[in-house]
Chain A
Amino acid sequence: MKIEVKGLTKRYGKHKAIKNLNFIMDQPKIYGLLGRNGAGKTTFMDILAGFNVQSDGQLLINEETPFNNRHITKNICLIKENDNFPEEMKVKHIFKMCRILYENWDQGLVDELVQVYRLPIHKKLKTYSKGMASAVGIIVGLASNAPITLFDEPYIGLDAAGRKTFYDVLLAQYEENERMIVLSTHLIDEVSLLFEEVLILREGELIVHETADELRTRACRITGDVDQVNAFIEGKQVLEEKQIGHLKTVTLLGARSEAEAAGFEPEGVAIQDLMIYLTEKEGA
């Protein structure tokens, strides 16, 4: 599947939720879609899944628009943080309906994950806890085997063990059946190692679209004597500065090799920290 985004803009009244996005996603990879609250991640995913329609620009999947196009949407499964399924429906009925609607449905995986998450599937979704309801969404997302699977904060209320199971199954499934998985989350530290490519949105604009490896080496953190560090950072792009006594820690964009040459021992910066810096700083 090839996703082409050309000048994509979505307006709600005078407010622009996403502004002139341009990029291509054409590889079966695990993509991280990151950004602060209100950055436009959910709006983008809604348009991608055909839930909503853009105000300007184009979003094409294999040269076709997804809105009201079953030919495309049958290949997409979007699981959001809540309200994916009717609360008054029994969970076994939700699975039964999805089994018909998703062509590559993996019932074996459903049965397995129902056991793992200990879900009473004969009960209605409204009787489930938040974590269990999230597990239902996760199961549908994984079992759909949709060539484009989108997870938008899918594990609200799910405990650490439940989330770990999700990551493990996601990876195992991905290895078995390579597909495009887009994961939007605020628990970046937990999942950053899964990402192969990262997109960061800030106030509706795409500010980063890089491979995760590139992004990890994009910034570094150095610590040293205040005067030495101040001299080194002169003219460089500083993301964050912290000083305790005579020791100063600075996070820099790029300049890793220069820091090594200058005698510092540069440390890597977690994607989560980088995302925070990039979405806070102007002109990043």
Chain B
Amino acid sequence: MMTELKGTFCGLFLQYRFTYLVFWLILVFFISATFIIVFFIDGIYSVITLSAPLYILSIIMPWLLISQKNKYLTVYHLVKSSVSRLGVYIGIGLFFLFTSIINVLIVQAIKGVFGLIFTYENGTVSYVKGDSSYILTDIISYSSIQTSIWQELIVDFTIVMFLTVVSVVFATIFNRFGKVVGYSIVGSIVILFIIVMSTGTANETIVKTVSFIVDRAGFYYAYIVILLSIFIFCFNYIFLRKLVVK
């Protein structure tokens, strides 16, 4: 198993490191360019949620890895290279775990660097010049509580992991069973969500739950989300274990 994991991880790292590098370069360029605009032009109010693009990336990546048509390294290529389905699955799980940790660290590092230059308070970097202001923040800063860097890291990490896992499930379903089954499941979930939300009590419960999570963003919450992610990820192996390569 170690050989499989090593090979899978090495392949994925060599293939996708450039993708991540390009992502971060574009993001750093974007936030720097935004700052320059704010610095030179009056009356501009800019708020950048740094972890939001990371959430989008964490949804996209599983679709790249679990795609029959992708020309990058995918689970299909790995199976062709004699890796077992279980080896591939654990390998991509470890790869996502590793990249999630690195990515949330980069988010904090970027904020840290900007924080050295500008005002850094409660997880938010801010710069005010006349009528213009520039704010660099992340998702947890929208809650009313005072947060530490650890909490910010944990919240980002858990959200990224959860989104990745959910994306892995949908990517697997769409690739294994086709668009008809995939869209049917998505449609069913959307309908179920609408029904639940239209019920007053359920709606209230969901709002309370979300508030609870946001307000108590700590290790307890993180453990629950991580365990839930691991459970969903393990469950999804059912769909991948009979993967056929053409």
Contacts and interface: CB of A to CB of B under 8 A. Distances in A.
Interface of A: 46, 49-53, 68-70, 73-74, 76-78, 84-90, 93, 96-98, 100-103, 126, 146
Interface of B: 1, 3-4, 6-7, 10-11, 14-15, 70-74, 77, 79-87, 241-242, 244-246
B82 A74 contact: yes
A74 B82 CA distance: 6
Nearest to A69: B84
A77 B82 contact: yes
Contacts of B6: 100
Given A86-B77, A89-B73, A70 B82 contact: yes
B10 A97 contact: yes
Given A68-B84, A69-B84, A70-B82, A96 B10 contact: yes
- Of B7, B70, B80, most buried by chain A (CB within 10 Å of CB) is B80
B71 A86 contact: yes
Contacts, number: 82
A74 B3 CA distance: 10
A51 B243 CA distance: 8
B82 A86 contact: no
A89 B18 CA distance: 11
15 contacts: A50-B79, A52-B244, A52-B245, A68-B85, A68-B241, A69-B84, A70-B84, A73-B83, A74-B3, A76-B82, A77-B82, A85-B80, A89-B14, A90-B14, A100-B10
A88 B80 CA distance: 16
Nearest to B87: A70
Nearest to A74: B82
A105 to B, nearest CB: 11
A62 B84 CA distance: 17
A88 B242 contact: no
A77 B73 CA distance: 18
A88 B15 contact: yes
A93 B242 contact: no
Contacts of A126: 71
A50 B84 CA distance: 9
Contact of A70 (B14, B70, B83): B83
A86 B81 CA distance: 11
Given A52-B245, A86-B71, A100 B7 contact: yes
A102 B7 CA distance: 9
Nearest to B81: A101
A93 B82 contact: no
A88 B72 CA distance: 5
Given A68-B84, A73-B83, A96-B10, 16 more contacts: A51-B244, A51-B245, A53-B244, A70-B87, A77-B82, A78-B80, A87-B71, A88-B71, A89-B14, A93-B14, A97-B7, A97-B81, A100-B7, A101-B7, A101-B81, A103-B3
